[in-house]
Amino acid sequence: MLDVDGASAVVTGGASGLGYGCAAKLAANGAKVLIADLDEEKGNAAASEFGGMFVKADVADEEQMAAAMLAASEMGPLRACVNAAGIGHAMRTVNRSGEPFDLAQFEFVVRVNLIGTFNCTRLAAAEMSKTEPLADGERGSIVNFASVAAFDGQIGQAAYSATKAGIVGMTLPIARDLSSIGVRVNTVAPGLFDTPIYDKMAAGGRDPQEFKDTLGASVLFPKRLGFSDELGSMVYELVTNSYMNGETIRVDAGVRLPPK
C-alpha cells in the first residue's frame, strides 16, 4: 500500500464539491494537501481546514501548475495527485433554431478538462520521479476524473463527454508510460453526486432538494445522489492500493444515463 502519511498530495478543483471530498480524505490520513483551484475564498478556507496550502492556478497553464507541484513537493515528497478540476457547457451540436455549437466553448471545455488533466498528470509525474522509490519501486499515484458521461453522454454533452472519454482513453497509455518511473495512474468516472452544481441547475424557482430527489430516483440503488465522501473513499483506495493501475472505475450506483 502507498502510505500518504507525511507525504504531499495535490488536488485540483479541491476547493469544493468532489475535489473537496478527496482532499478531506487524504488530509484525514495524514497527507499534506495542496489545493489548486481558481476559487480563492473557498480554496483558502479548505486549505486552512486541512492544514495544507492553497495555490490559485489554471490547470491548463504550464507555469502555474509547475509552480504548484513544486510547492507541494516542498511540503513533503509528492506521492499523490488527484485531478478533479473540470467544467461543462451544455449545448446541442445544432439547436432547434439551427445554430451550431459554439466552437470557442467546445475548445474551452477541451482545454480545461482534457488538456488541463494531462498537463497536471505529466507535471505531477515528473515531480514524483524525483522522489525516493518505496516498495516495488513505487513513487506515486495519480487519479484522474472522468464521468459516466464518457460512456452515457446525454443530449447537449458533446464537449463534456468528449473530454471525459479522452481522459478514459489516455488512462492506460499514460499508466504504461509511467510504469518505468513507478507512478500509477487510474481514473474514476463518477455518476450523480450531490454537489453545489445541482443547486445552480435547479432553475425556474424549483426547490433544489426536489430537483436532486428526482435525479436520485433514476439511480439503480441506492436511489439517491452520491456523497462526496463516498467518492473520496474510492479515490483514496486508488491512490493507496498499489495493485490498482491503468483502470477506469465507474462510481455510480449502477446508473445508466438516458438521452436527456
| Catalytic sites, residue numbers | 160
Write the CB contacts of 8 (distance below 8 Å, at least 6 apart in sequence): 31, 32, 33, 34, 72, 73, 75, 76, 77, 78, 79, 80
Q: DSSP labels for 219-241?
A: SSSSSS-B-HHHHHHHHHHHHH-
- How far apart are the C-alpha atoms of 117 and 85, rounded to whole Å? 8
CA 182 centroid distance within chain: 21
Distance CA 240, CA 15 (A): 22
